[in-house]
């Protein structure tokens, strides 16, 4: 029997729906202020977004970022978090924070991690001593972090695993662990616990898990276990299947998604929230995200290119000085990105702005009920209007929700 529904510290205000696709626009009211949906959440792993100060992230318009429970649990540690009063104070961040459970890092980063019914057993990266992360400990850590949205500990395995029995076990265990997380959660009146739907690429397992998770009535719902190397067609089928079974008045979070095409298609499939380290990580390799694709500014072709990173971009880097910007050119990035941290810093500013602004444009298009046209223009610009280059997975997924990318 499912536990009694917990209190909610959020309000989901649905503002508009696309008349063709499953896209939605909403405002998510959280303890540290309202958040416009759909949203991309930058990942500040250790209470710090690599390459940006909290003020700079705030100036970009970010109102919800992600911290990592595993890393914060190691350093500064739970005692320090309790002493300072949580991650908001630790990083001087006045807006909302979402934390993951730490389970994914345990399984993906650590050698010899073993999942049992009790939790995840692993060896300490500091001294090699045996350690155990249970659902209760994960929630306790997140209670100390004080994040506005906390995630259940789930049993994560690669979507590409051929072991269906293990996939089913992981799905069923994730449901049982959610019940333990609900029981352990100390502050439901100020922190929102999201469940995580598992089941790999098996749509029947996903349907079964979705039914169980929805019955627990958590404030929000995540679709997990994706972005792990699976085919994009399979990814889209899972997202489409799950969103079709979820309650309308709750936020839907697809974990680990950050490529612009993936964001635009996933919104059309009914998802609201996304996170990924890619935009900031790729900046450190000299890559700029633009509406016409990713530019590798370490390439010598840009050595004498004195255009902004992206023309008409309104980020601080690209804006002319007359408009209060830095007027940074591609040539400048080329010359500093290999030797100086300044290049990575500037590209991080640009890439985060691109992602957040993309979601602002997405939201605006939904509210004005022109999202199908927006999607066509997005793909047209990205692929220079060469429809033969459009990815087949995107064409198929969008056709399933009423948008024909190939039509005029």
Cα(315)–Cα(320) distance, integer angstroms? 10
Answer yes or no: are the C-beta atoms of 326 and 317 closer than 8 Å.
yes
Residues forming beta bridges with residue 33, ordered by sequence position: 30
- Token pair, residue 90, equals 């630790």
- Cβ partners under 8 Å of residue 232, min gap 6: 262, 391, 393, 394, 397
Q: Residue 77: count other Cβ atoms within 10 Å of its Cβ.
A: 13
Q: Is 275 a catalytic residue?
A: yes
Q: What SS3 class is residue 239?
A: helix
Cα(52)–Cα(75) distance, integer angstroms? 20
Cα(170)–Cα(80) distance, integer angstroms? 33
Query: In 221-326, which ranges are continuous DSSP H helix?
Result: 232-243, 260-268, 278-283
Cα(76)–Cα(67) distance, integer angstroms? 13
Residue 284 to residues 46, 256, 287, 305: CA-CA distances in angstroms? Answer: 17, 19, 7, 20
Residue 200, sorted as left (phi over 0), alpha (psi -120 to 50) or beta, turns out to be left
Q: Which of 272, 275, 312, 404 is catalytic?
A: 275
The DSSP code sequence of 102-167 is SHHHHHHHSTT-EE-SS-EEEE-TTT--EEEE-HHHHHHHHHHHT-SEEE-------TT---HHHH
Q: Which residue, 260, 208, 265, is CA-closest to 239? A: 265
Cα(225)–Cα(229) distance, integer angstroms? 10
DSSP 100: -
Compute the Cα dihedral for 5, 70, 352, 241 and give only its sign. Answer: negative
Element (H, E) at 206: helix 203-216
Q: Which of 55, 100, 369, 386 is catalytic?
A: 100
Catalytic residues: 100, 275
């Amino acid at each position: 029997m499912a536990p009694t529904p917990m209190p909610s510290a959020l309000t989901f205000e649905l503002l508009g729906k696309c008349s063709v696709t499953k896209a939605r626009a909403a405002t998510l009211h959280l303890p540290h202020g309202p958040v416009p949906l759909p949203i991309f959440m930058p990942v500040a792993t250790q209470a710090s977004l690599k390459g940006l100060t909290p003020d700079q992230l705030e100036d970009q318009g970010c109102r919800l970022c992600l911290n990592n429970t595993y890393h914060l649990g190691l350093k500064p540690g739970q005692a320090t978090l309790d002493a300072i009063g949580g991650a908001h104070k630790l990083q001087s961040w006045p807006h909302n924070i979402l934390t993951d459970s730490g389970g994914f890092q345990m399984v993906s980063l650590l050698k010899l991690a073993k999942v049992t019914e009790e939790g995840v057993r692993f060896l300490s990266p500091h001294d090699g001593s045996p350690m155990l992360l249970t659902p209760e400990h994960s929630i306790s850590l997140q209670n100390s972090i004080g994040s506005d949205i906390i995630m259940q500990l789930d049993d994560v395995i690669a979507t590409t695993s051929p072991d269906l029995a293990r996939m089913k076990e992981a799905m069923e265990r994730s449901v049982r662990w959610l019940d333990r997380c609900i029981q352990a959660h100390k502050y439901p009146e100020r922190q929102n616990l999201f469940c995580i739907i598992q089941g790999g690429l098996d749509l029947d397992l996903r349907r079964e898990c979705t039914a169980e998770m929805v019955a627990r009535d958590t404030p929000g719902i995540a679709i997990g276990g994706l972005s792990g190397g699976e085919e994009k067609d399979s990814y889209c089928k899972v997202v489409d299947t799950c969103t079709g079974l979820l309650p309308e008045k709750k936020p839907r979070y697809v974990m680990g998604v950050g490529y612009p095409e993936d964001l635009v298609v996933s919104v059309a499939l009914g998802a609201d929230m996304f996170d990924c380290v890619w935009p900031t990580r790729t900046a450190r390799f000299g890559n700029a995200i633009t509406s016409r694709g990713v530019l590798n500014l370490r390439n010598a072709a840009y050595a004498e290119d004195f255009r902004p990173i992206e023309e008409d971009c309104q980020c601080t880097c690209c804006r002319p000085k007359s408009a209060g910007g830095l007027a940074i050119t591609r040539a400048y990035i080329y010359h500093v990105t290999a030797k100086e941290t300044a290049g990575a810093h500037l590209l991080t500013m640009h890439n985060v702005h691109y992602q957040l602004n993309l979601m602002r444009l997405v939201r605006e298009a939904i509210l004005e009920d022109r999202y199908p046209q927006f999607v066509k223009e997005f793909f047209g610009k990205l692929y220079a209007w060469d429809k033969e280059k459009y990815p087949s997975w995107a064409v198929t997924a969008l056709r399933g929700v009423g948008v024909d990318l190939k039509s005029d």
